[in-house]
A and B are shown apart, each in its own frame.
Chain A
Amino acid sequence: MKNSLYILAAFLAGILAGRLPFASVLLAHPGTGKYALYLLMLLVGMGIGADPRSLKLVRAQGVRLFLLPLATLAGTFTGVAVLAGLLEEIGLREALAVGAGFGYYSLSSILITQLHSESLGVVALLSNIIREVLTLILAPLMVIVFGKLAPIAAAGATSMDTTLPVISRVSGREFAIIALFHGILLTILVPIMVPAILRLFPGA
């Protein structure tokens, strides 16, 4: 949670610096962002590979663990697809790409900024922060209305770290393992799904 605030602060500091009259000097050369993203992706990949938790969990729990991440994936895409159908301001391709952030706002907004546009990057940043905050605030209500798996699904990729304490409090500690694996799997899926969606769906 503390890191989330720092990340947001870095973004806001950037906006303020960008407002300064001499900001154009600070603006990085086009292309620098791309290489910074490559570095980040390499580091994120290394983090996943070096983390033994996911492999251990699959061995211990089996196929059942994959059901909830699958439900979250299907639910998220169904939800945003319905929205894109209702509002003509929002395109299906854009809605799916932002939805595929699954709450992992730092990586998804960076990816979308590079692969689509800065304005959709901003939408991805805000939307996925809101998803995390909604889960943190509404988790107790979600359990009552939608059952014990609900806060995990709403948390998306964040169910492995920032929202895990809340989840284990409202759903019960026995759901912490399910939440952990759910978050790890969706975290891996974000950098795969976002580029895949932007590539597979033709631009407007």
Chain B
Amino acid sequence: MYGILLIMGTGILLGYLFRKPLKHGLLLDKWILWSIFLLLFMMGLSIGHDQLIMSSLPSLGLMALAISLSASLGSLVFALLLWHMYFKNRK
């Protein structure tokens, strides 16, 4: 797991060092998008092939909905607190 962070850190350093050629030449965003396509296709592939996961999709979906609702609600409440504490009177 530390390997992933190390690789991203290396990427940030490389990106910073080569920020000028990266902005003009290589289409970084396009590469990122295509590797995401590929990874999600592969993820779908092994999920579609896995009978156990396919049959539990409805319950996984419910769990996902519960997590996104609670995560969003928590952020909204904290945003409201911050708004009243710090931002409201400054703008």
A contacts, CB < 8 Å to B: 3, 6-7, 10-19, 23-24, 26-28, 32-33, 36-52, 64, 67-68, 71-72, 74-80, 82-83, 87, 89-90, 95, 98-99, 106-107, 109-111, 113, 115, 118-119, 121-128, 130-131, 134-135, 142, 145-150, 152-154, 156, 174, 191-192, 195-196, 198-199
Contacts and interface: CB of A to CB of B under 8 A. Distances in A.
A145 B66 CA distance: 21
A36 B35 contact: yes
Contacts of A109: 40, 43
Interface in B1-21: 1-5, 7-19
A190 to B, nearest CB: 10
B76 A118 contact: no
A76 B74 contact: yes
Contact of A154 (B12, B42, B76, B86): B76
A15 B17 CA distance: 39
A5 B74 CA distance: 27
B39 A37 contact: yes
Contacts of B44: 10-18
A45 B9 contact: yes
Interface string B62-81: 01111111111111111111
Please indicate which of the listed interface residues A16, A82, A99 has the most CB atoms of chain B within 10 Å of its own CB: A99
Interface residues of B, number: 72
Given A10-B38, A107-B36, A195-B2, 17 more contacts: A14-B47, A15-B47, A18-B50, A19-B49, A41-B8, A44-B32, A46-B18, A51-B15, A75-B79, A80-B67, A87-B66, A115-B1, A118-B46, A131-B68, A147-B84, A153-B78, A174-B91
A interface SS class: helix
Given A18-B45, A80-B70, A118 B50 contact: yes
Interface of B: 1-5, 7-19, 22-23, 28-29, 31-33, 35-50, 53, 56-57, 60-61, 63-84, 86-88, 91
B73 to A, nearest CB: 5
Nearest to B50: A118
A75 B59 CA distance: 25
Contacts of B19: 49-52
Contact of B68 (A12, A107, A127): A127
A79 B74 contact: yes
Please indicate which of the listed interface residues B33, B50, B75, B78 has the most CB atoms of chain A within 10 Å of its own CB: B75
Contacts of A196: 1
